[in-house]
Every structure is written in C-alpha cells, then in structure tokens.
C-alpha cells in the first residue's frame, strides 16, 4: 500500500482530466512518459486502486488511469441495462479519443473482463495485456451473484448500505476479507478512498450497486471465444490465495490465449494483489512490457 501522504503521492499530484465519449465524460489521470499503458479497474472501486502500481511504472510508461462511469469522478450512464458492454464501448472510445494508436492494457476483476473485450475488438492496437484476479471461463463467483440477486429485493439498497457501514462486515468473508491478505488494510487509506465516498453519497452508492444488479453472469463466464480473438502478449499476475478466481482455474484458462506469456503468482496475494503488493505487481508487469512493447515499436519503425 501507499507510503506517500496523499498530497505528495505522484498519482494524486497528476491532474484529473476528462475525455468525452458518446455516453460518458470519463475522468482520468495521466502520469509518466513513454509508451501508453491504460489501467481498467474492477468493482466496486475506481482508478485510484492502481495509484501505487501506476506510480511505479510511470518512469517508463505513460500511465492513463481511468474512472469507469459510475465510479470515482466519472458520472454514471443514464442507461445501466448492459453495464459491461457499455464499459467496453466506453474504454474503446477513450482509447480513440486520447489518440492512442497503440496501448497496453492492465485490468483486474471485472476490469479484466472489460480489458479482454477491448483487446479482442482492437486487435493489433493492443501491445500487451496484463490481467490479475479476474473472471475465469465457465466460473461464476457465487458471493457476487448472490449480492446481485439481493439487489432486486425491495429495501435492499438500505440494507446493503448499512452493511457496508459496519467495520465488522467489511472485515468478514462477505465483505473485503477476500481482497487482502492483511485485513487491516481494509481500514485507513482504502476505506477513505473507496468506502467512505459510497457511505457519504447515496447517488454514488446506488450507481455502484446498480452496475452489479444488471451484470449478465452468463456473459462473464462465456469468455473462451473472446480469448481466441486476443493475440496480444498476455501475462497473468495472480494473488495465489484469492478466493474468488482460483489460481488453478486461471492456469487452465491461460491455454485459451494464443499470445499467453506466463502466469506469475504472488503467494499471499488475494483479489487486490495490485493494492497490497504494488512493487511485486509492477515488477511483474514491467518484465513483460519492457520486453514486448519496445520490440513492437521498433518493428513498426523498420
């Protein structure tokens, strides 16, 4: 986790910018120099979840860290009926709107699914793909699906908000225990950045939960055809103890990627491996990016 005070952190020192798409005004931060690297966060957080990893990679890459609609500083959609499809279209428009002819993608959790759909659609425009603890083919996270089903029950928003306000719930297995090896990290900076804003703003909370309520879980499980379309060099950086997306199943899924490089497991890592172990995460990402992205750039120039 961050060793910087928020006011001095390189991520928060970077200006907050926006790019307009057909259905959203997307907030993002840009830091660093070099080839483009775009980060796609998962649910229920926003782009600042990559604050430390992006800062560590900014000495050699231009890091674009976005807030997806309904998260962080980006307002939600007027229509949430197909949130993941909408997010995919939005990220593609962001890439084009920023003029990124070539870009590497980083994604975890649902952001990893979105990054894969983007990579499948943009083809050679994607120089590399880094995935961590994200959706697995033919695998549904039962806890998340139960929450999604509960959101359709009258009064569920009130109940879920009360639960989120309970420190005991947040530290439990139905809260964020599956996200961190060190549960003390659920408090402090993580709480201030991602939990407190949802508790303070009913609209933001409703948008965050509203996304979950409309997720198509069959679409999330039917990923093999998407993987077959991805030819970019792909690396998995996995929290080996993550309960939602088992590492053994991720290793099996890797066979579906024609450009698969390797899978690096961080032994004590869970879902938020990029938050808890940013140095290891950034080093594992840079190893692939440094090898692949410059080679692609040189081959284009020749």
* Tens-place pLDDT, residues 192-220: 999 999 999 998 898 888 788 888 888 88
pLDDT tens per residue across span 45-54:
999 999 999 9
List the domain boundaries for the chain: 6-140+219-301
pLDDT at 148 over 90: no
pLDDT at 299 over 70: no
List C-alpha distances in Å: 220 to 74, 83, 106, 136, 198.
23, 12, 18, 8, 25
| Distance separating alpha carbons of residues 156 and 137, to the nearest angstrom | 29
CB atoms within 10 A of CB 31: 21
Percent with pLDDT over 90 in the chain: 78
CA 42, 44, 246, 138 torsion: positive or negative? negative
pLDDT tens per residue across span 82-101:
888 999 999 999 999 999 99
pLDDT tens per residue across span 250-292:
999 999 999 999 999 999 999 999 999 999 999 999 999 999 9
| Distance separating alpha carbons of residues 184 and 103, to the nearest angstrom | 35
pLDDT at res. 254: 97
Q: At what angle do helices 202-213 and 142-150 cross, to 10 degrees?
A: 120
pLDDT at 298 over 70: no
For residue 276, count CB atoms less than 10 angstroms from its CB and return exposed for 0-12, middle for 13-18, buried for 19 or more: buried
pLDDT at res. 300: 46
List C-alpha distances in Å: 265 to 31, 36, 162, 286, 292.
27, 25, 35, 15, 20
Phi then psi for residue 160, to 5 deg, are: -65, -35
List C-alpha distances in Å: 228 to 57, 123, 136, 176, 260.
29, 11, 14, 32, 11
- Give Rg (Cα) of the chain: 18
Class of 6-140+219-301 in CATH: alpha beta
The answer to whether 50 and 106 are in contact (CB under 8 A) is yes
**Count of all residues that appear for the chain in the document:** 302
pLDDT at 39 over 60: yes
Q: Determine how β-strand 103-109 pairs with β-strand 126-134.
A: parallel
- For 186, residues 6+ apart whose C-beta sits below 8 A from its C-beta are 170, 171, 175, 176, 177, 179, 180
| Distance separating alpha carbons of residues 61 and 34, to the nearest angstrom | 4
pLDDT at res. 296: 58
Dump the DSSP string for 227-281. HHT--S-EEEEEETT-SSS-HHHHHHHGGG-TTEEEEEEETT--TTHHHH-HHHH
pLDDT at res. 301: 42
pLDDT at 5 over 60: no
Under the banding of pLDDT at 50, 70 and 90, the label for residue 2 is low
**Three-state DSSP state, 70:** coil
Q: Determine how β-strand 62-66 pairs with β-strand 25-31.
A: antiparallel
CB atoms within 10 A of CB 176: 24
Which of 67-81, 127-141, 154-168 has the weakest average pLDDT? 67-81
The answer to whether the predicted template modeling score (pTM) of the entire model surpasses 0.75 is yes
pLDDT at res. 60: 93
| Distance separating alpha carbons of residues 208 and 187, to the nearest angstrom | 20
Under the banding of pLDDT at 50, 70 and 90, the label for residue 114 is very high
């Amino acid at each position: 986790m961050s060793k910087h005070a928020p006011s001095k952190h390189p991520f928060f020192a970077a200006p907050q910018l926006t790019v307009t798409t057909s259905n959203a005004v997307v907030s993002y931060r840009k830091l660093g120099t070099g080839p483009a690297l775009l980060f796609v966060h998962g649910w229920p957080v926003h782009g600042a979840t990559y604050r430390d990893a992006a800062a560590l990679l900014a000495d050699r890459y231009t890091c674009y860290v976005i807030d997806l609609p309904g998260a962080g500083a980006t307002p939600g959609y007027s229509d949430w009926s197909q949130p993941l499809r909408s997010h995919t279209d939005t990220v593609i428009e962001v890439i084009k709107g920023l003029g990124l002819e070539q870009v590497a993608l980083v994604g975890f959790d649902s952001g990893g699914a979105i990054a894969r759909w983007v990579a499948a659609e943009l083809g050679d425009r994607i120089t590399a793909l880094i995935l961590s603890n994200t959706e697995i083919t033919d695998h549904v996270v039962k806890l998340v699906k139960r929450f999604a089903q509960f959101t359709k029950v009258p009064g569920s928003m009130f109940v879920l908000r009360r639960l989120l306000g309970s420190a005991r719930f947040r530290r439990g297995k139905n809260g964020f225990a599956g996200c961190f090896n060190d549960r003390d990290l659920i408090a402090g900076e993580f709480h201030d950045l991602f939990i407190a804003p949802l508790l303070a703003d009913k609209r933001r909370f409703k948008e965050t939960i509203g996304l979950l309520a409309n997720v198509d879980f069959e679409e999330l499980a039917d990923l093999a055809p998407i993987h077959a379309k991805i030819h970019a060099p792909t690396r998995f950086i996995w929290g080996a103890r993550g309960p939602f997306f088992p590492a053994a199943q991720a290793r099996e899924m890797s066979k579906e990627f024609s450009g698969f490089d390797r899978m690096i497991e961080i032994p004590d890592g869970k879902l938020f491996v990029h938050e808890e172990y940013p140095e290891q995460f950034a080093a594992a990402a840079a190893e692939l990016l440094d090898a692949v992205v410059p080679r692609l750039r040189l081959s284009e120039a020749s």
